[in-house]
Amino acid sequence: MARLILHSDDLGLHLEVNRGIFTAAEEGVLTSASLLVNGAAVADAAGRARGCPQLGVGLHLNIVRGRPLADASQMPTLVNREGRFLNSMWALLWRSVCGRLSADDIYREYRCQYLRMREYGLEPTHIDGEKHSHLLLPEATHAVKRLAEEFRIAKIRIISERPLIRVLRSRGIALRVRPAQRLKLRMLEHRAESAKATWSALKSPDASFGVLISGADGIPSGPAVVRALLALESPRTIEWMFHLGFPAELDSPAFRAEFGDFFLTGARSKELEFLRSAPVQQAIHDAGGNIISYREL
């Protein structure tokens, strides 16, 4: 039987995101989350994480939205005129293509975020990236390597999902996905192959799940998906990535100015409802010790 990491990104983004994540963790259907240390509700998230030992907490490296922890004037390739991150993955990709993105700037910010998490009394179980920027940007991939070597970080997220999709399809489980998500997944898996060569010393789950269905209207055959993933003998460990949260006014003008427009607000609550539904909870609880966090990877 495979082992399954049930993970949510964006811990610390908003109080209602925090509440959704800790509700799922306390009910035993979420084992892992990653902390956005420049989020609007990071202090609340860190305090609650210290009192929730069953939840493994990684670092959600972020150069996409919000404000940097490092001095913005010393990292011009990452910020706009107001000193905020660009709130656009496409803008970062364009700067990278044009040679206007600095790996040194990214490393400086990553280092500040890692140290801030430790100041909150939390040692990250692993690292991953906002909008998967740690994979999509070659400069970020090299900055991650420097960070991991300096602080002896051992574990990181890698995206490898299509083999699992084929297995699910062979078992009669068809997922409704948008063409844009298929393209995004292909890009991520392509970049992941290059990143793995750079991060040869870092350990990752054998496969991932969740990119294709991110933002979807729902997850059909929920308990069947959980059981089908656990039934796999190889790959041995799978990270299922969620973006959890209760409904909230995440799109208020002030919040949007600071953190951008991509919140998947409706999808967050639907993903939380999915995990908390009785049949899915039962499938997860039946799996027992095969539901793990990055600590056990």
Q: In which element (H, E) is residue 10 found? A: strand 3-11
Q: What is the mean pLDDT of residues 80-86?
A: 94
Q: Is the pLDDT of residue 228 over 80?
A: yes
Task: With cut-offs at 50, 70 and 90, classify the pLDDT of residue 222.
Answer: confident
Who wins on pLDDT, 192 or 234? 192
Q: How far apart are CA 242 and CA 222, in angstroms?
A: 14
Q: What dihedral do alpha carbons 65, 71, 77, 81 form, nearest 10°?
A: 70
Query: Total domain count for the chain?
Result: 1
Q: What dihedral do alpha carbons 17, 18, 23, 26 form, nearest 10°?
A: 150
Dump strand ranges (E) for the chain. 3-11, 32-35, 56-61, 127-129, 207-209, 237-242, 291-292
Task: Say what the pTM is.
Answer: 0.94
Who wins on pLDDT, 180 or 295? 295
C-beta separation of 185 from 207 below 8 A? no
Who wins on pLDDT, 183 or 22? 22
Q: Is the pLDDT of residue 216 over 70?
A: no
Q: What is the mean pLDDT of residues 92-119?
A: 97
Model pLDDT, residue 118: 98
Model pLDDT, residue 175: 78
Who wins on pLDDT, 87 or 267? 87
Q: Is the pLDDT of residue 152 over 80?
A: yes
Model pLDDT, residue 101: 97
For 154-170, what is each residue's pLDDT tens digit? 999 999 999 888 888 88
What's the whole-number average pLDDT of the chain?
Answer: 92
Range of the domain at 171: 3-296
Model pLDDT, residue 244: 94
Q: What is the mean pLDDT of residues 161-190?
A: 86
CA 280 to chain centre: 21
Flag the least confident range among 3-12, 104-113, 204-213: 204-213
Q: Tokens standing for 223?
A: 């308990």
Kindly report the CATH number assigned to the domain that includes residue 118: 3.20.20.370
Q: How far apart are CA 255 and CA 243, in angstroms?
A: 18
Identify the three-state secondary structure at position 68: coil
Percent of the chain at pLDDT > 70 equals 94
